[in-house]
Every structure is written in C-alpha cells, then in structure tokens.
C-alpha cells in the first residue's frame, strides 16, 4: 500500500486485514436510548458478486489542461483516482469552459465513463454538437464498477499538489456537488442515506465537509458502533449503472453521436473531423498519452444480498458499506500499481472479515 494521505484515505475506504468472517449478529446489549440500526449480516454464503476495478490515480491529482495537436485543440480531463464519479461534473465544467472558449463547430469527446459523459453533456448544454468515441461504453467502463459514494477522497497526495490545483479542485467539488444534488429529484439513481463515520474529534476535513450534509457528532448512546467517535451526516450516493445509462440516454436524445472506437495514438486523434477534442480516457491516458504518473489503484467490492431493514451507510476505518435497493455493497481496498482484474480470494476474505468485525461489535439487538 502506497503512503497516500493515509489518515484521510483510511477514513474514506478502510484498510487492514483480517482472517475471520464473522456473522453479523448482535453481540452486546444496547444502551437504553440508542436509535438502533440493523447490522449487516456478513457471511460468505450471502455474497452475490465480487467486482474489481482500476482507479486512475495520480499523486498530483486530476489533469485538466489544454494542448495543441497540429490543428486540433485537445483538452485533457482524466486522473480522478478514487472519486471520478464525484468530481466528474466539476472537472468537466473546468475542461469545457477551457475548451469552448473561442471555439465554433463540432466537438469530440473520447471516453464514455462518468467523466466523458459529463463532458459531453456540458458541451451539449452549451449548444455544440458532440460525438462521443469510446473503446468501452456503459455498462462495461470502470465508472460502472464504482461504488457510487459522492465524496471527494482518495485522489491525490497532499504534498504533491500545488495551491493552483487545490483551487481548481475546490471549484470542481463545489460544482459537482450542486449537479448531483440537482439530480436527487430525477430518475438518475441519486439519493441520500444517513451515514455514520469515525472522526478524530475535530470538524470534518475542509475537502469533504460540504459533502456531509447535516453533520453532527453523536454521543455513545446515539449509535450502535463499537467505535466511540462517530459522526452522522446525510451522504449522497449514486447507483452508478443506472446513472451512467441514463446520462448516455440523455446525450443520445440530445442528438449526440456515440461511436465505439479505440485510439492507439494521438496521431489518430488529429485525424478526427472535430477541431476540439476532450480526452476523458481515465487510466487509458497512461498509454495513449504516455502519462507515467497515472497509476492503477485497484479496488475490490463485495456485494451481499439486500437487507431491506438496512437504510443507512457507514464509512469506518475498516471499510465502507452502503445499500442499493437490490444489494449491499462492501468496500474497500486500494492497491496501487496492481493491474490484476481478478477478485482474489484473500482480498475478498479480508473485506468480509473487517465488516464482520464491525457487525459483531454492534451494540444493539437486530
Ligand atoms: C472499486 C471502486 C470503487 C470506486 N468507488 C467510487 C466512489 O464511490 N465514488 C467515486 O466518485 N469514485 C469511485 N471510484 C473511482 C471511479 O470509478 C473512477 O475515478 C472513475 O470511474 C473514472 O472515470 P473516467 O470516466 O475517468 O474513466 P472510465 O470510467 O475508466 O472511462 C474511461 C473511458 O475511456 C475509454 N478509453 C480509454 N482508453 C481509450 C482509448 N485508447 N481509445 C478510446 N477510448 C478509450 C474507455 O473505454 C472508457 O469509455 C471507484 C473505483 C473503483 C475501482
């Protein structure tokens, strides 16, 4: 495990290892005034699916930058690490504002993950015709694998970024939050869940505070977790599969052309008929544009059968859990420079063990 801002990273995705898979049953009496929550029933026989994805991670954060390739203007928008769903609208806003300045005529977007789709939609909203080219379309992108918590974490190393980048990150986070909140009312699979998380005693990190609506610290009698410092907030979550297919549908309905195509070199991009091209290829930018700073951060998710009685989420040092109507999602792992797309048994067992321990420490009856 790489040393990326370990404190913040632990708080967002969880680390550690465990050998035992513990049943998610109530083991301790609950304090009299606890608002009791149902624990997750964690066991191997309740696993319905395990998935693996490679996050496009850069120590120095996402890239939004313009360059010229002959007569073609190319605007990069990639490298979002563990929060490409979260920041997709915001960095796309930055990229589109940069690219459309002084532009006329059709526009190309390469990549159909969360970032490419948000970029294409913003280009359309600005009144330009757009063609989306991508080697893979939803539901087979990395973005479709993403857990779907809207939270800007796990995407840079604090000592590797500049004040200018931080300012752009803050602007991107603010715009993204607004866009996702505006989708709460629609059919995009965006919703809020009461979320419980460990905290160090102080206020939330400024990077993430705005994403924790109605945050407050809880007394020990107000939650069922074994950990003592717990914060509750209303977190935003998105069902990524549904969200991406709805967004792709909107782009097509808005007249956007969607073409499956893989680019092997920048020279092929120069050959496109569009004079303005957005590069939203995620981890693909490493090979396509030779960005060696872009590295895979492998993540494994374990999905369990739904438990309708669970209507909350948690993000603890040991891992995160949240529900969708049809499943429970358990994370996480974050292994830099690991290219393996196999959900290895050891990682799956470790995730189950960590969440099993959380459930076993539950302080109220099921
Ligand atoms: C297990 C896991 C959990 C995650 N959880 C969250 C979360 O809860 N919240 C969050 O915000 N983020 C999360 N992420 C991170 C998120 O998935 C990524 O940051 C995000 O998917 C990046 O989006 P993207 O559009 O840049 O890349 P992608 O989704 O990978 O899309 C890239 C697109 O570019 C295309 N492409 C690539 N190379 C080429 C080429 N040469 N020619 C043509 N097309 C090309 C691909 O085919 C694809 O269409 C998670 C990731 C993982 C793995």
Q: State how far the alpha carbon of 114 is from the alpha carbons of 282, 324, 365, in Å.
A: 10, 19, 40
Query: What's the gap in Å between 60 CA and the centre of ligand 1?
Result: 17
Looking from the CA of residue 297, the nearest atom of ligand 1 is 53
Confidence (pLDDT) at 8: 37
Element (H, E) at 122: helix 114-125
- Report, as ranges of residue numbers, the positions in the chain whose pLDDT lies below 50: 1-33, 366
Longest dimension (CA), the chain: 71
Q: What is the pTM of this model?
A: 0.92
The pocket around ligand 1, CB under 6 angstroms, is made up of 53, 55-56, 78, 80-86, 110-116, 134-136, 141-143, 145-149, 262-263, 280-284, 288, 299, 301
Q: What is the pLDDT of residue 262?
A: 98
Q: How far apart are CA 196 and CA 225, in angstroms?
A: 9
Note the pLDDT tens digit of each residue in 128-161: 999 999 999 999 999 999 999 999 999 999 999 9
User: Rounded distance, CA 137 to CA 92, Å?
Assistant: 18
Distance from the CA of 120 to the center of ligand 1, in angstroms? 15
Ligand 1 centre to CA of 238 (Å) is 15
Report whether 280 contacts 149 (CB < 8 A).
no
Q: Ligand 1 test: best mutation among 12, 54, 62, 142, most atoms within 8 Å of CB?
A: 142
Can you tell me which atom of ligand 1 is nearest the CA of 281? 34
Let me know: does 28 contact 39? Beta carbons within 8 Å. no
**Protein residue with its CA nearest to atom 36 in ligand 1:** 281
Q: Is 343 helix (H, G, I), strand (E, B) or coil?
A: coil
Q: Which residue, by CA, sits nearest to atom 35 of ligand 1?
A: 111
Output the CA angle 201-205-210, nearest 5 degrees: 115
The residues, any chain, with a CB within 8 Å of residue 302's CB and separated by 6 or more, are 47, 49, 50, 329, 330, 331, 348, 351, 352
Compute, in angstroms, the gap from residue 38 CA to the centroid of ligand 1.
33
Segment (H or E) for 178:
helix 163-182
Check residue 21 and give its pLDDT.
35
The per-residue pLDDT for 188 is 97
Q: Which atom of ligand 1 is nearest to the CA of 332?
A: 1
Which residue's C-alpha comes closest to atom 19 of ligand 1? 84
Half-sphere exposure of 73 (CA within 13 A, CB side): 17
302: left (phi over 0), alpha (psi -120 to 50) or beta: beta
């Amino acid at each position: 495990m790489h040393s990326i801002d370990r404190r913040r990273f632990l708080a967002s995705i969880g680390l550690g290892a465990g050998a035992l898979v513990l049943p998610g049953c109530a083991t301790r009496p609950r304090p009299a005034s606890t608002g009791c929550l149902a624990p997750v029933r964690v066991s191997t026989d309740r696993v319905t699916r395990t998935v693996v994805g490679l996050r496009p991670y850069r120590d120095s954060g996402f890239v939004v930058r313009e360059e010229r390739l002959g007569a073609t203007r190319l605007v990069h928008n990639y490298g979002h690490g563990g929060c490409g769903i979260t920041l997709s609208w915001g960095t796309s806003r930055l990229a589109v504002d940069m690219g459309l300045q002084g532009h006329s005529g059709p526009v190309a977007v390469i990549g159909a993950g969360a970032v490419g789709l948000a970029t294409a939609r913003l280009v359309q909203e600005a009144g330009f015709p757009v063609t989306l080219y991508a080697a893979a379309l939803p539901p087979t992108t990395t973005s479709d694998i993403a857990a779907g918590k809207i939270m800007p974490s796990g995407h840079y190393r604090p000592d590797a970024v500049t004040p200018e980048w931080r300012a752009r990150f803050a602007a991107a986070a603010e715009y993204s939050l607004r866009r996702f909140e505006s989708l709460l009312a629609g059919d995009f699979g965006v919703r809020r869940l009461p979320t419980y998380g460990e905290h160090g005693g102080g206020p939330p990190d400024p990077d993430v505070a705005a994403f924790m609506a109605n945050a407050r610290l809880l007394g020990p009698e107000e939650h069922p977790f074994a950990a003592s410092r717990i914060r509750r907030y209303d977190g935003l979550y998105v069902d990524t599969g549904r969200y991406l297919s709805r967004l792709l549908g909107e782009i097509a309905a808005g007249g956007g052309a969607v073409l499956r195509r893989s680019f092997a070199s920048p020279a092929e991009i120069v050959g496109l008929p569009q004079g303005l091209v957005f590069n939203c290829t995620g981890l693909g930018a490493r090979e396509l544009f030779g960005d060696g700073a872009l590295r895979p951060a492998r993540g494994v998710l374990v999905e369990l059968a739904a438990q309708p009685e669970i209507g909350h989420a948690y993000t603890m040092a040991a891992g995160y859990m949240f529900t969708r109507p049809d499943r429970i999602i358990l994370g996480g792992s974050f292994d830099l420079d690991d290219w393996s797309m196999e959900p290895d048994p050891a990682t799956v067992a470790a995730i189950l063990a960590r969440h099993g321990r959380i459930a076993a420490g539950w302080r109220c009856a099921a």
